[in-house]
């Protein structure tokens, strides 16, 4: 017997899970997502979330409340008589009244190996910390931030040069498949949960603008992890001089390489850059207002030669 599901999610990451639940034959009685946001070059056009667009394509009713703390919203959700709510990167806190509304509670698909990297930016933080493994977990939600007991987990290796964008794209289908498996077990009454361990909990706070600038005095491994952990968004950056004026350069892809020198010094004609310890080679970069290009293409137009400096 199919479950009656309320789905809650907002960004691209959530879409494969929504689609997979529908394809598995469950009845999605409503979709909750963040309200349309201003977008476009002038920020004047309201754009619905990726989840809203997919829900409308599937013919599912969409709700976009600014908050779920009000009595009217809580009564409306309870009236849906859902068996379970599935939450994947929704972006709103769920108060106790919402958590208790579905008959079987709320399941969350979270992109980390809990309790490591609870919070808003687990994919970026895992790479920035140099983790070699992460994954997705399905947990039963409670009022604490990503503290609920875990039902299922799927592990994924993080490659040495893997970017946050690449890891995001690998975790999306993994989350979808794991959630469908969890719903099948819930339907059969065999989905069991285990409490998260107390040790090893880390909070993946949102990425702040102040931490996106590269610090070349750090060891090469840390610089490399910083670059790939913030690629493609929001992107790490540094500055280089053109005609006496500093220009911002977004760093999208790098790898470790041999070399040493004063931090920030360009070491060769293939854009190896010295760090506080060792060196990184920049593979893909982006000048302000331009498209991403290879290091070679950038160097042809930037007049940046060995001995030049990035700051």
Q: Which residues are annotated as a binding site for (6S)-5,6,7,8-tetrahydrofolate?
A: 112-115
| 3-state DSSP assignment of residue 118 | strand
Strand partners, 106: 85
**Shortest CA distance to 207 belongs to which of 128, 132, 94, 144?**
128
DSSP alpha helices (H): ranges in 139-188?
A: 164-188
The residue whose two tokens read 């039963």 is 140
Binding residues: 112-115
Report the 10 Å Cβ neighbour count for 106.
22
**Shortest CA distance to 106 belongs to which of 3, 2, 5?**
5
Q: How far apart are CA 153 and CA 86, in angstroms?
A: 16
**Shortest CA distance to 171 belongs to which of 234, 254, 88, 231?**
88
DSSP 96: H
Report the 10 Å Cβ neighbour count for 29.
17
Q: How far apart are CA 148 and CA 138, in angstroms?
A: 9
Sheet of strand 84-88, all strands in order from the earlier edge strand to the far edge: 62-63, 27-32, 4-9, 84-88, 106-110, 133-140, 150-157
């Amino acid at each position: 017997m199919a479950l009656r599901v309320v789905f809650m999610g907002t960004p691209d990451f959530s879409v494969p899970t929504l689609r997979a639940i529908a394809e598995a034959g469950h009845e999605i009685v409503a979709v909750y997502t963040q309200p349309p946001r201003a977008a476009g070059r002038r920020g004047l056009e309201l754009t619905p979330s990726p989840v809203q667009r997919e829900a409308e394509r599937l013919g599912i009713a969409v709700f976009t409340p600014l908050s779920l703390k009000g009595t009217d919203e809580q009564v409306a959700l309870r009236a849906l008589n859902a068996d379970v709510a599935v939450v994947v990167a929704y972006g709103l806190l769920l108060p106790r009244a919402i958590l208790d509304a579905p008959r079987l509670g709320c399941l969350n698909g979270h992109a980390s190996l809990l309790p490591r990297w609870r919070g808003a930016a687990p994919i970026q933080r895992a790479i920035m910390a140099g983790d070699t493994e992460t994954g997705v977990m399905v947990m039963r939600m409670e009022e604490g931030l990503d503290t609920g007991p875990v039902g299922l987990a799927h592990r994924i290796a993080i490659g040495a040069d893997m970017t946050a964008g690449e890891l995001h794209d690998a975790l999306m289908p993994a989350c979808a498949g794991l959630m469908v498996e969890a719903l099948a077990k819930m339907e059969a009454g065999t989905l069991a949960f285990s409490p998260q361990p107390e040790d090893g909990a880390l909070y993946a706070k949102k990425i702040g603008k102040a931490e996106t600038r590269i610090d070349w005095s750090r060891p090469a491994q840390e610089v490399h992890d910083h670059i790939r952990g913030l690629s493609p968004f929001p992107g790490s950056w540094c500055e280089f001089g053109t005609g006496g004026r500093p220009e911002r350069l977004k760093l999208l892809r790098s790898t470790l390489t041999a070399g040493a020198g004063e931090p920030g010094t360009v070491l060769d004609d293939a854009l190896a850059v010295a760090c506080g310890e060792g060196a990184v080679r920049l593979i893909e970069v982006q000048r302000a207002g331009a498209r991403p290009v290879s290091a070679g293409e950038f160097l042809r137009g930037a007049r940046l030669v060995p001995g030049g400096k990035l700051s």
